[in-house]
Every structure is written in structure tokens, then in C-alpha cells.
Amino acid sequence: MEGEDKSEEEPREPSRGPRMRTLQSQENSPEERLPTEWSRLGAMARRALMTVLLLSLLLAASVFLLYTFQNCGSCETPECWELRALYLASGNSKVDPCTDFFSFACGKANETSDSVQALAEENKRRLWRILEAQGPWHPGSGEEKAFQFYNSCMDTHAIEAAGAGPLRQVIEELGGWSISGNWTSLEFNQTLTLLMSQYGHFPFFRTYLGPHPSSPHKPVIQIDQPEFDVPLKQEQEQKVSAQIFREYLSYLNQLGTLLGGDPKKVQEHASLSISITSRLFQFLRPLEQRQAQGKLFQTVTIDQLQEMAPAIDWLSCLQATFAPMPLSPSQPLVVYDLEYLKDMSQLVEELVLTQRDFLQSYMILGLVGTLSPALDSKFQDARRELSQKLRELTEQPPVSARPRWMQCVEETGTFFQPTLAALYVREAFDWRTRSAAMELFTAIRDTLVTRLRRLPWMNRETQEEAQDKVTQLQVEMGAPEWVLEPELARQEYSDIQLGPSFLQSVLSCARSLQARTVRSFLQPLPHHRWKMSPWAVNAYYSIPDHVVVFPAGLLQPPFFHPGYPRAVNFGAAGSIMAHELLHVFYKLLLPGGCPACDTHALQRELQCLERHYAAFSSHGRSSFNGSGTFLENAADVGGLAIALQAYNQRLFWHYGETTLPSLDLRPEQIFFRSYAQAMCRGHSSQDSQRTHSLGPLRVHGPLSNTPAFARYFRCPRGTLLNPSSRCHLW
């Protein structure tokens, strides 16, 4: 049977054993056997002195322990009362915590509360309040343009009045199309170049600038498979695919009709557009096939790609898309599916020669779908209806319509992220919050270093290397430093021209964003390039930069607040921090990832953890998926253990702890309650790749591996969350 982790036990009073033995040894000392009165008096005096000293020490220790580990009262701040209300509203206290702590913490009436989604929405509401509060901004500044763009987005009356007019103007700039008017046939590559560079639409392939797959600090143009409007999959049933195409055909007919096309002609062009989509989809090679062939990506020059896929004028298209990046025919590219590009090129050559007008319609209809969020309600309603029907066909849960303010906040955040980041951090992540968050991270990091010193499956050399990696790790908290520089925001948006229509504003902002992205890759930066906005509710570890990032949007109630009891901050935010720190050591857990380790001991713990999670499939919960979620499950278990040890150490060295008002939970119980709150996620919150387990498993897996949980909630031996054996990977 696996032993319990002693580091997670409740701190106890210092042992009295050694002192009692000292007293006993003095009672039998040689001096006491001397027949002199002096010896007897001296022995009695020493015994009295030692007794008084011992009682004093015991009294002092008792007072210290009582002061340290007993509650120092209830936290009566508004933040604590709000957290108490959340706990009561989001959980189900009628459920036995020892058998289903996920429902106890997250199972409110008839649904699962989703703390992550709720916090993400609250962060957007904060941005909304910021954008609604008009202020005197410097003319031409990023703040002024961000507020102007937001107001333009919210002016639905003007957008409805403009109707399809702004979109028709765009179509005319592209040479028009034969569905609804005169068509001036532009040369194919001229149209494609305009679509890619001016309108951000990629009808035949995706291309973007990003880190080289094998050299993360080297930017390179990457060409990938296209993204289709329809959710097609290679393994999909033919019946489902046919239904998807029928719905998409109906949608394309709606678009053509809204743009004034003749219904018969629209039907013909929409059908041919579906045919082109189907043929392109058939050219795709699945990721698994490319991996098996050792061709996950290939590096070719623009010249070489031109020879293999000659229908596209690669140099012209890429030069226009990635300006001001200088390109030449010898420019290296990373291509993810070269065979697809060859087949796509042959199809395009065929269509240019035989069905040029249908090829134009295919590109225009795709563009309309891309631009629909910036159009009037008729186009948006058609898009929303298509999305809901496709989700039904692919058995995905429906998505409720977002309010207009949320759409506009998201659009403004996309195009004006540096400006909104500075405004958000100024309001939501002041110096006190940042200081408290850094203090929490330091405690978590130091605890991890301590635990690394006693992992039995690591030899001494590996332990020292692991400790060095942790101490050398960089942390970025809240937001990138550069977003708080006011002068930068004015330079960022000098090329944005807002109006006359909202669609034109969106297009100008999209072009500016693309140019900023290219410039950011061309300029060497001394710091890590963030992968998300500062108001995001997520954290991540960057392997190339060896930096861990905790955005300000994550370090908010209910996961973190400087005024919360320590139990809340350590249980929620602390566990998340520890989880991300363990990402540093993912490689060690993979086959052959730690040749110097005790392979037998490591495999024993890994197999133990796999059995531990697999056991939950028999309790009506999601079964363990070893291939997709194992590393994240391991980090969940280790993260909770590290956060708990750090919390106990902080209690020992810092006097007292508060509790939440009118809530019948001890501080240690609040610690586990706050951990579960951070894992309260509905099915819609799970990412498509399923790298994490579902919420119930993320709660029950780590808690059942933690002896202290069973002790503090008095779970009988053998219940779901108090099993007979546990694992000790971390």
C-alpha cells in the first residue's frame, strides 16, 4: 500500500518526548544519590527550575499554536461576502463532499457552474464599463481611436441604415461578380492578392508569420491548410457531410439574395462554390498521415513552391500580405501540406481556364462570410442560423447569442489590445494586487524547489538541474511591461483610418493589426512575446523562452484577491501557479525523457497515477484518457500538493488565518473548496483538443490523492475521495 505524504499533514504541536526524557534522566542523576543535604537541595532546586521552564515553554507553545492555527475571525470585507455568496450559489451543500466534491462545489441547480467562463465574462464587463466611460483623450491617441471604434460598433442604427452598401463597394473593388451586376474580370492573382492583403481572406490556404517549428526564436512565413466555413472531417459519415453541405448551400443562397442576385443565378453559383469546397477538402491529408510519413512540415523556398504550385503568384501574394517584410524568391517558407498545395494549384488552373466567373463567386462568397460580423443584422442572422444548424448536425451544444456590447468589446480588444490592456491593468491589477500575486508565486516556487530535493525517482544530479530550472524561470505577471508605455499606443495606430462605415473601420483596423504583427516579428524583443491578452483567464508556460505567464484577468476574484483569506488564494491561484510550474518538467515524464532517473521508480508512480484516474470511470465520471490528458492530470495532482504544502508553511510562519463570513468551513476546508472552484467548468469550456480532463475528474483526481482532504472533511476510509492507496509522483 502506498504511504501517505507527510508534508500534507496538518502542522502539530512540537513533540514533548525529548524534554520528558531529559527530566527523567535528571531525576536519576548521580548527584541525587549523594547522601549530603546540599546535594538533595540542589537536585530539588534544579527539578523545580526545569519544571517551571518546561511549563513556561509548553504554555508559550500552546499560545503560539492557538494563535497561529486557530481562526483570527471572519473576513468581513465586501470581497469576502461576495465570495461567500458565490460559494453558496454555485455549489450544492446537500451532496456528500466525500463522494462527489465536484457537485458539492460546482453543482448548482440543474446545471454546472462555470467559474472560468463567468470570470471571462466579468473581465469583458469591466472592459465594457471602461469603454462606456467617455473621457478626454489626446487627439489621435490609441485611447481616442479605441473609443471611436467601439462607439461605431455600438451604433447599430448607422450599420442598419448602411445595409449592404459598404459590402457592395468592396465587391466592386475586387472587380465585381456576375451574380448581381457587371463583372470586370481581374487577373486571378490580382484578386487573390487583394483578398489576402487588404481583406484578410484566404480562400485556398492559410498563411501567417510565426516562430519556426524547429527554431522557436526565428520567425518564418508558414503556409497551412485552409479553414472551411463547414465543419468537415475525414472520418465523417457521408450522410452527415451531405446534410452539412445542404445547410451551407442554403446559407450561400441567402448571401447572394441579400446582395441583390437573381435567385436562379445565385443557386447555380452557390452550387459550384460548394463543389469547389468539396474538392479542396478531398485534397487535405490528415495530420496523422503526415506524421506517419515524417512530413509534418517541409521547408521550401518561394521559387521552389512556385514550380510545384504554379497557379499562385507566391512572391506577389506574400509580399503584399507581409509588408513591410522584405521578400525574395529564395525566401524560405514552412509548408505543412505540400501535396495539398500541388493539387489545389491544378484545380485553380482548371477553373481559371474553364469557369473563371464561378471561381470569382467562390472567393467573394467566402469573403462575405468572413466580413459578416461587420455587416448589418440580416447577414449576421444568416451566419448565426448556419452556425446553430451545423452544431446540431455535429452534435455540439448550442451557443447562446452574445449581446452586442460583448461583440464590440471583443472586436475593440482584438484591434486595440495594447491600449485596452493598459486601461484594464490600471483598474484591475494595481501594485497591491501585483505584489500579493508575486508573493504567492514566490511561496509556490520555493515549495516546489523543496519538494524536488526529495523526489525518490530523481538522482541527485537531476534534482539539482531541476532546482536550477525553477530558480532560473522568468515570470510575467499581469501584463507585458511595454503595454503601459503611453507613447507606444500613439505610434501603434497611426495608420488606422476610421469610417465612413463600420465595415471600412474594421478593414482599416485589420490591416493595421497585420502590419503591427509583422513589425513585431521583425524587431528583436528583449522580452517574451505574449500569446494572449492581459484580461484572459488562462496561464501558460513558454518552453522556448522559459517563462511562465499569469495574466491579470486570471488573478481576479473568485480565484485571487489581496484581501481574501490565504486559504482561498493558495487553493485556487496557488494551485494554478504550481500546475504551470510543473509544465517545466513534462519532458521528464515522457518515455526516455529522463535517462538519469530511477526508471523503475518513475514508472511505478506513473502507472500508479494512471490506475488512480482510471478508477473513476466506474463511478459514473469521465474515464481517464492516458494519451491526451495524462500530463495535465499529473500537473493537477502535483499542483494541489505543492499549493497545500506552501499554504501550511505560510500558516506556520505568519500568524493566524481568517475564514469566510457565516460559512461553516474551516480554513483548510476553504482551501480545498477554492481549488474546486477554479475547476468548475462546463463541457463547453473544454478546448477542442481535450488536453485537460473534464471538471469532475480535475477535482476528484487530485483531491482523492491528498490525505489532508479526507482528514479535514472526515471522509471514511474506502469512500471515493479517501481511497486505500495514493500516488507520490511529485
Asked if residue 553 is part of any domain, the answer here is yes
Taking only the tens place, the pLDDT of each residue in 699-711 is 999 999 999 999 9
- The continuous run of DSSP H or E covering 161 comes out as helix 156-162
CB 476 within 8 A of CB 550: yes
Taking only the tens place, the pLDDT of each residue in 623-665 is 444 446 889 999 999 999 999 999 999 888 766 788 898 888 9
Domain that holds residue 466: 78-113+429-480+527-712
Asked if residue 516 is part of any domain, the answer here is no
Taking only the tens place, the pLDDT of each residue in 279-330 is 999 999 988 888 888 888 999 999 999 999 999 999 999 999 999 899 999 9
Asked if residue 508 is part of any domain, the answer here is no
Asked if residue 632 is part of any domain, the answer here is yes
CB 540 within 8 A of CB 580: yes
Whether residues 605 and 669 share a domain: the answer is yes
Domain ends where: 337, 356, 374?
374
Whether residues 64 and 86 share a domain: the answer is no
CATH number, domain of 623, equals: 3.40.390.10
Whether residues 29 and 97 share a domain: the answer is no
Count structural domains, the chain. Answer: 3
When mean pLDDT is compared across 35-49, 126-140, 168-182, 272-286, the lowest value belongs to 35-49
Which residue in 8, 143, 605, 636 is the catalytic one? 636
Whether residues 177 and 223 share a domain: the answer is yes
Q: Which residues, including other chains, have CB under 8 Å from residue 201's CB and lie 6 or more apart?
A: 195, 363, 366, 367, 370
Q: What residues form DSSP beta bridges with 223?
A: 207, 335
268 is catalytic: no
Does the predicted TM-score (pTM) go above 0.75?
yes
- The continuous run of DSSP H or E covering 481 comes out as none
Taking only the tens place, the pLDDT of each residue in 469-479 is 999 999 999 99
End-to-end CA distance of the chain: 17
Per-residue burial over 628-645, b if 16 or more Cβ lie within 10 Å, else e, is: ebbbbbbbbbbbbbbbbb
Whether residues 50 and 90 share a domain: the answer is no
Whether residues 354 and 230 share a domain: the answer is yes
Rounded to the nearest 5 percent, the helix, strand and coil shares of the chain are 60, 5, 35
Whether residues 169 and 46 share a domain: the answer is no
Domain ends where: 374, 405, 439?
374
Rg of the chain over Cα atoms, rounded to whole angstroms, equals 32
Work out the pLDDT band at 237, boundaries 50, 70, 90. confident
Asked if residue 147 is part of any domain, the answer here is no
Asked if residue 611 is part of any domain, the answer here is yes
Q: Is 15 a residue whose pLDDT tops 50? A: no
Whether residues 212 and 297 share a domain: the answer is yes
Whether residues 660 and 545 share a domain: the answer is yes
**Mean pLDDT, residues 512-530:** 82
Which residue in 580, 632, 657, 668 is the catalytic one? 580
Whether residues 218 and 104 share a domain: the answer is no
Q: Is 70 a residue whose pLDDT tops 60? A: no
CATH number, domain of 244, equals: 1.10.1380.10
446 is catalytic: no
Taking only the tens place, the pLDDT of each residue in 522-562 is 877 656 788 899 999 999 999 989 999 999 999 999 999 99
- SS3 string of 85-120? HHHHHHCCCCCCCCCCHHHHHHCCCCCCCCHHHHHH
Whether residues 568 and 692 share a domain: the answer is yes
Asked if residue 302 is part of any domain, the answer here is yes
Place of cell 477542442: 688
Taking only the tens place, the pLDDT of each residue in 579-628 is 999 999 999 998 888 888 999 999 999 999 999 988 886 444 444 444 46
Asked if residue 157 is part of any domain, the answer here is no
Whether residues 21 and 100 share a domain: the answer is no
